[in-house]
C-alpha cells in the first residue's frame, strides 16, 4: 500500500501549528492592507498596515504555538511508552481516519460556535459577535486538529490493516485535504453569512495548518523557525507608535481579530485604571495618573497636557446665539410631537432623491415642513445622541457615567421634560426596550417614560415595534383634551431602521440594504398614522411636529457597516424635518445639530433658552430661512465614543460647513473633507489646507472646555 503523506506525530506537531500561525497572520495582515486602502492610505500606509498586522498577530500567537507544540511533545511522545509510543512515533499509513474525524470536528466546531453565538449576539454588536464566534470556532478546530495529530496514527495503523483487504480506503483524502477544504469552507461561510473580513483569519489559519501537515522534521528545527520568526515580529509591539496613522487605525479598529486582541491587552495593562493603556496605541502618556490620558479633559491654561495632545488646551468660547424676537405667528404655548427614527439615513428618503419609493408619507409631510438639509448628530450612537436631544448639550459635556452595559445620565443634566414641567406641560415618551434596560436617568422630568410593550427582551420588539409605538401614540392623543387647557410634549422613538433589518410589506430584496429600505417603508406607514392623528385634532394648528433621526447608518462605505464607529457622512448626517405653526414650507441649507432641538422646543413653549445649553433655537430659520438678518457662523461639534467588544472607538469632529475635520483621539490621525465638493470623503485635504490648523485648535479647545473626559470608568 502506498503512503499518500507522512503521518503527523507529536514530534512534528510544531510544523502545522507554525504554519497555522503564519497563515492566520498573513490573512489578518491582508485585512489590514484592505482597510488602510479603503481609508485612502496609499501604498505606504497600506503596506505598513499589512506588515504591522502580520507582525502583531505573529508576535502574540507564536509563543502559544511553541508552548502548545512542546507540551504535546513532552506529554505524549516522552510519557507514553511501550506499544502506544511505538505506534505514535512509527505509524506509516494513509490517514483515511481524517474523513470521519474531520466531519466530526466540523460538526462539533459549528454547533459549539452557534450555541455560543446565541449568547454573544445578545450582548455584542453582530460584528464583534461574529469575531468572537470565529475565534472560538478556530480554537475548537485547533484543539481537534491537535487531537487528530496525536491519536490519528493509532487509528491509521488499524486502517492500514483494513486497507490491505479494502484498497479503496487508501484513496480517501488525507488530513491535509480534509482540513484545507474545511478551512476554505469556514471562510466562505463566515464571509457570506457575516462579513468578508471575518472569514480571512480562520480560513488562513486552517489552510496553513493543512499545508503544515505535509511537512515533517524535528521539533528542534520547528522550534528554531518559530523562535526566529517571533524575534523578527517582536519589534512590532514597540514600533506601532511610529507607523502612519492610517496603519494604526487599521490594526486598532478594522482588523476583526487583532483589534479585539489589542483591546484585551489595553485592559490588562492599565495600571491607573483610567481605561487607557501606555502600550500599543492605548493613548495613555502617564499610566500613573488616571486624570491624564487621550480622552481626558484638558484644563485650559494650567500648563498640564491632560489629554496627551502635546500641548495645553487654550480656552474655548463658542459663538453666542443671537437674540431674536418671538414670531407673532406662534401660539403662546405650542403642543409638540417629537419623533425620532433610529438610524434613519436622510439620503434613503424619496424626497431627497432616492430612487426607491421608501417614504410616501414622510414625503407628504415634508411638503408642508421645513427641511434642514445639512443636519448632523452630536454622536453616531443612540445613548449619546438622545442625551443631546433631550438636553441641548453636547453629550461629552454632560454628567454621564458608564456601568456594565448601562449608561447613566446623572442628576446634573436637565432634560427638556424637566424644563417644560415648570410651564405646565404634560410630558409622555414612548421609547424602546433597549433604552429602558440600558439607559438610566433619561426619564428625568417625564410623566411617563416607557415602551409601549413594557420591559420585554429587546429582541421581542425587532419586527413589531413600529405599529405598537403608533398604537400607543394614537391612544395617548385620543385621551388628552383638545381645548388647549394643558399643552403637551409627546416623544416617540421608532427603531424600524436599526439593525437587524427585516422585510416588511414591500420586498426590495435580500441584502441588508434592501431590508433596510423595506423597514423604512414600513416605518413610513406607521408614521403616517401619527401625522393623521395629529392633523385630525382640533388643536392641530397649534401643534409642532419634529421628525428626526439620532444618527445615520453605513452599508460598506469606507469599509464599515452599521453605525457608531466613524464620523463619516453616512454615520453623522441625520434627517431633520419640522412643521411649526404659521411657518411656510422651506429648505434651510445652513448646518444645524441635534443639540438645537431642546432650545427650539423651549422657545416654542414661550420660555427663554437658559445658559449652559450648546444648541441654538431654530425659530428664526422657520420664518426667515437662510436669510434676513443673517445669523453668525458657528462651529458644530460631534464625537464617537463607543466600546464594542474590546475595541474602543473614540474620535472627535468639528464642522465649519462645508469643511469637516475629524481626529482619532488615540492615533491623532486627522482628516479634512469638503463634504459638498467631496460627499464621498475620498480626498483628505488636511495637509497644507489653511483651515486645518484653525479647526484643529478649535477642536482641541472644545475638548479642553469639557468636550472630553465624560466617560467615568
Confidence category of residue 157, pLDDT binned at 50, 70, 90: low
Higher-confidence residue of 79 and 112: namely 112
Q: Which three cell numbers stand for residue 126?
A: 453582530
For the chain, the structural domain boundaries read 10-252, 335-624
Q: How many CB atoms lie within 10 A of CB 89?
A: 15
Which of 69-73, 123-127, 561-565 shows the lowest mean pLDDT across its residues?
123-127
Rounded to an integer, what distance in angstroms lies between the CA atom of residue 118 and that of residue 325?
57
**Among the listed residues 566, 598, 608, the one whose alpha carbon sits nearest the alpha carbon of residue 326:** 608
Confidence category of residue 605, pLDDT binned at 50, 70, 90: very high
What is the pLDDT at residue 200?
A: 85
For the chain, give the mean pLDDT.
Answer: 82
Higher-confidence residue of 106 and 86: namely 106
Rounded to an integer, what distance in angstroms lies between the CA atom of residue 429 and that of residue 445?
11
Beta strands in 395-457 (DSSP E): 400-402, 407-409, 426-430, 439-440, 448-450
What is the pLDDT at residue 97?
A: 43
Q: What is the mean pLDDT of residues 224-233?
A: 91
What is the pLDDT at residue 110?
A: 52
Backbone angles phi, psi at 659, to 5 degrees: -85, 135
Fold of the domain built from segment(s) 335-624: Alkaline Phosphatase, subunit A (3.40.720)
Which of 36-40, 282-286, 424-428, 579-583 shows the lowest mean pLDDT across its residues?
36-40
Q: What is the mean pLDDT of residues 131-152?
A: 57
Show the CA angle centred on residue 31, arms to residues 29 and 37, nearest 5°: 105
Could you give the 3-state DSSP secondary structure of residue 84?
helix
Flag whether pLDDT at 368 surpasses 80: yes
Question: What is the three-state SS of 299-321?
Answer: CCCCCCCCCCCCCCCCCCCCCCC
Confidence category of residue 168, pLDDT binned at 50, 70, 90: low
Higher-confidence residue of 216 and 339: namely 339
Residue environment code for 678-700, b if the CB has 16+ CB neighbours within 10 A, otherwise e: eeebeebbbeeeeebeebbebbb
Rounded to an integer, what distance in angstroms lies between the CA atom of residue 562 and that of residue 553?
5
Whether the ω angle into residue 500 lies within 30 degrees of 0, i.e. cis, is yes
Q: How does DSSP classify residue 615?
A: S
Confidence category of residue 160, pLDDT binned at 50, 70, 90: low
DSSP letter string over 30-79? HHHHHHHHHTT-HHHHHHHHHHHHHHHHHHHHHHHHHHHHHHHIIIIIIT
Rounded to an integer, what distance in angstroms lies between the CA atom of residue 666 and that of residue 282?
7
Higher-confidence residue of 580 and 321: namely 580
Q: Which residues pair with 654 in a beta bridge?
A: 637, 661
Whether the ω angle into residue 658 lies within 30 degrees of 0, i.e. cis, is yes
Residues sharing a CB contact under 8 Å with residue 299, sequence separation 6 or more, in sequence order: 306, 313, 704
Which of 173-177, 198-202, 335-339, 403-407 shows the lowest mean pLDDT across its residues?
173-177
What are the pLDDT digits (tens) for 241-290?
Answer: 899 989 999 999 888 888 888 887 888 888 888 888 899 888 888 999 98
What are the pLDDT digits (tens) for 406-461?
Answer: 889 998 899 999 999 999 999 999 999 999 988 999 999 999 999 999 888 777 77
Residue pair 70/219 in contact by the 8 Å Cβ criterion? yes
What are the pLDDT digits (tens) for 634-647?
Answer: 999 999 988 776 67
What is the pLDDT at residue 707?
A: 45
Label residue 288 exposed, middle or buried (CB < 10 Å: 0-12, 13-18, 19+): exposed
**466600546: which residue's cell?**
643
Residue pair 681/675 in contact by the 8 Å Cβ criterion? yes
Flag whether pLDDT at 156 surpasses 70: no
What is the pLDDT at residue 139?
A: 61
Flag whether pLDDT at 92 surpasses 50: no
What is the pLDDT at residue 88?
A: 35
Q: Which three cell numbers stand for residue 459?
A: 429582541
Rounded to an integer, what distance in angstroms lies between the CA atom of residue 611 and that of residue 521?
40
What is the pLDDT at residue 515?
A: 96
Flag whether pLDDT at 155 surpasses 80: no
Q: Which residues pair with 428 in a beta bridge?
A: 448, 490
Q: For the range 505-510, what are the long-range contacts, defined as Cβ-Cβ under 8 Å and sequence gap of 24 or more?
A: 506/357, 508/356
Rounded to an integer, what distance in angstroms lies between the CA atom of residue 130 and that of residue 464?
25
Q: Which three cell numbers stand for residue 80?
A: 507514553
What are the pLDDT digits (tens) for 509-550?
Answer: 999 999 999 999 999 999 999 999 999 999 999 999 999 999
Rounded to an integer, what distance in angstroms lies between the CA atom of residue 245 and that of residue 249?
6
Flag whether pLDDT at 121 surpasses 80: no
Confidence category of residue 5, pLDDT binned at 50, 70, 90: very low
Rounded to an integer, what distance in angstroms lies between the CA atom of residue 161 and that of residue 185?
32
**Among the listed residues 206, 228, 92, the one whose alpha carbon sits nearest the alpha carbon of residue 146:** 206
Strand pairing of 400-402 and 592-593? unpaired
What is the pLDDT at residue 105?
A: 52
Residue pair 165/16 in contact by the 8 Å Cβ criterion? no
Amino acid at each position: 500500500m502506498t503512503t499518500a503523506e507522512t503521518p503527523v506525530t507529536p514530534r512534528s506537531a510544531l510544523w502545522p501549528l507554525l504554519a497555522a500561525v503564519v497563515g492566520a497572520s498573513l490573512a489578518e495582515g491582508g485585512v489590514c492592507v484592505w482597510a488602510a486602502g479603503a481609508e485612502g492610505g496609499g501604498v505606504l500606509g497600506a503596506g505598513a498596515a499589512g506588515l504591522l498586522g502580520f507582525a502583531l498577530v505573529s508576535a502574540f500567537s507564536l509563543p502559544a504555538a511553541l508552548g502548545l507544540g512542546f507540551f504535546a511533545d513532552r506529554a505524549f511522545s516522552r510519557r507514553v511508552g511501550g506499544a502506544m509510543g511505538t505506534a505514535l512515533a512509527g505509524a506509516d499509513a494513509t490517514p483515511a481516519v481524517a474523513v470521519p474525524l474531520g466531519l466530526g470536528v466540523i460538526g462539533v466546531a459549528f454547533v459549539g460556535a452557534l450555541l455560543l453565538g446565541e449568547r454573544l449576539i445578545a450582548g455584542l454588536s453582530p460584528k464583534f459577535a461574529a469575531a468572537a464566534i470565529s475565534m472560538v470556532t478556530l480554537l475548537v478546530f485547533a484543539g481537534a486538529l491537535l487531537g487528530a495529530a496525536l491519536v490519528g496514527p493509532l487509528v491509521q495503523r488499524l486502517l492500514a490493516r483494513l486497507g490491505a483487504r479494502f484498497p479503496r480506503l487508501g484513496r480517501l483524502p488525507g488530513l491535509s485535504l480534509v482540513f484545507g477544504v474545511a478551512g476554505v469552507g469556514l471562510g466562505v461561510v463566515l464571509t457570506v453569512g457575516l462579513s468578508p473580513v471575518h472569514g480571512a483569519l480562520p480560513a488562513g489559519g486552517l489552510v496553513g495548518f493543512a499545508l503544515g501537515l505535509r511537512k515533517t522534521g524535528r521539533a528542534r528545527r520547528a522550534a528554531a523557525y518559530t523562535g526566529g520568526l517571533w524575534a523578527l515580529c517582536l519589534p512590532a509591539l514597540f514600533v506601532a507608535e511610529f507607523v502612519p496613522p492610517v496603519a494604526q487605525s487599521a490594526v486598532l479598529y478594522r482588523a476583526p481579530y487583532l483589534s479585539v486582541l489589542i483591546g484585551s491587552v489595553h485592559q490588562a495593562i492599565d495600571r491607573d485604571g483610567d481605561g487607557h493603556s501606555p502600550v500599543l496605541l492605548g493613548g495613555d502618556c502617564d499610566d500613573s495618573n488616571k486624570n491624564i490620558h487621550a480622552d481626558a479633559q484638558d484644563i485650559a491654561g494650567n500648563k498640564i497636557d491632560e489629554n496627551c495632545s502635546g500641548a495645553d488646551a487654550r480656552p474655548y468660547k463658542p459663538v453666542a446665539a443671537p437674540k431674536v424676537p418671538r414670531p407673532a405667528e406662534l401660539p403662546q404655548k405650542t403642543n409638540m410631537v417629537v419623533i425620532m427614527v433610529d438610524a434613519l439615513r436622510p439620503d434613503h428618503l424619496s424626497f431627497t432623491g432616492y430612487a426607491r419609493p421608501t417614504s410616501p408619507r414622510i414625503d407628504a409631510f415634508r411638503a408642508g415642513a421645513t427641511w434642514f438639509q445639512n443636519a448632523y448628530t452630536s454622536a453616531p450612537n443612540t445613548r449619546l445622541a438622545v442625551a443631546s436631544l433631550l438636553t441641548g448639550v453636547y453629550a461629552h459635556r454632560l454628567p454621564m457615567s458608564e456601568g456594565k452595559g448601562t449608561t447613566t445620565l446623572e442628576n446634573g443634566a436637565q432634560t427638556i421634560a424637566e424644563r417644560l414641567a415648570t410651564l405646565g406641560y404634560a410630558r409622555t415618551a414612548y421609547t424602546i426596550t433597549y433604552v429602558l434596560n440600558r439607559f438610566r436617568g433619561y426619564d428625568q422630568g417625564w410623566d411617563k417614560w416607557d415602551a409601549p410593550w413594557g420591559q420585554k427582551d429587546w429582541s421581542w420588539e425587532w419586527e413589531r415595534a413600529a405599529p405598537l409605538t403608533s398604537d400607543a401614540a394614537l391612544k395617548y392623543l385620543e385621551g388628552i383634551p383638545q381645548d388647549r387647557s394643558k399643552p403637551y410634549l409627546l416623544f416617540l422613538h421608532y427603531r424600524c431602521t436599526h439593525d437587524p433589518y427585516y422585510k416588511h410589506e414591500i420586498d426590495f430584496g435580500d441584502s441588508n440594504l434592501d431590508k433596510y429600505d423595506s423597514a423604512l417603508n414600513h416605518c413610513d406607514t406607521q408614521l403616517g398614522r401619527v401625522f393623521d392623528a395629529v392633523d385630525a385634532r382640533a388643536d392641530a394648528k397649534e401643534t409642532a411636529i419634529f421628525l428626526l433621526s439620532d444618527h445615520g447608518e453605513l452599508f460598506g462605505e469606507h469599509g464599515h457597516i452599521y453605525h457608531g464607529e466613524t464620523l463619516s457622512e453616512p454615520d453623522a448626517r441625520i434627517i431633520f424635518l419640522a412643521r411649526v405653526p404659521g411657518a411656510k414650507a422651506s429648505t434651510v441649507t445652513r448646518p444645524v445639530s441635534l443639540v438645537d432641538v431642546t432650545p427650539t422646543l423651549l422657545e416654542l413653549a414661550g420660555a427663554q433658552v437658559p445658559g449652559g445649553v450648546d444648541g441654538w433655537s431654530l425659530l428664526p430659520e422657520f420664518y426667515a430661512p437662510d436669510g434676513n438678518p443673517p445669523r453668525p457662523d458657528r462651529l458644530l461639534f460631534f464625537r464617537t465614543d463607543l466600546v464594542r467588544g474590546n475595541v474602543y472607538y473614540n474620535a472627535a469632529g468639528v464642522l465649519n460647513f462645508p469643511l469637516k475635520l475629524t481626529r482619532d483621539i488615540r492615533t491623532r490621525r486627522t482628516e479634512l473633507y469638503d463634504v459638498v465638493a467631496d460627499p464621498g470623503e475620498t480626498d483628505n485635504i488636511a495637509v497644507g489646507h489653511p483651515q486645518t490648523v484653525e479647526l484643529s485648535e478649535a477642536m482641541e479647545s472644545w475638548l479642553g472646555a469639557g468636550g472630553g473626559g465624560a466617560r467615568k470608568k
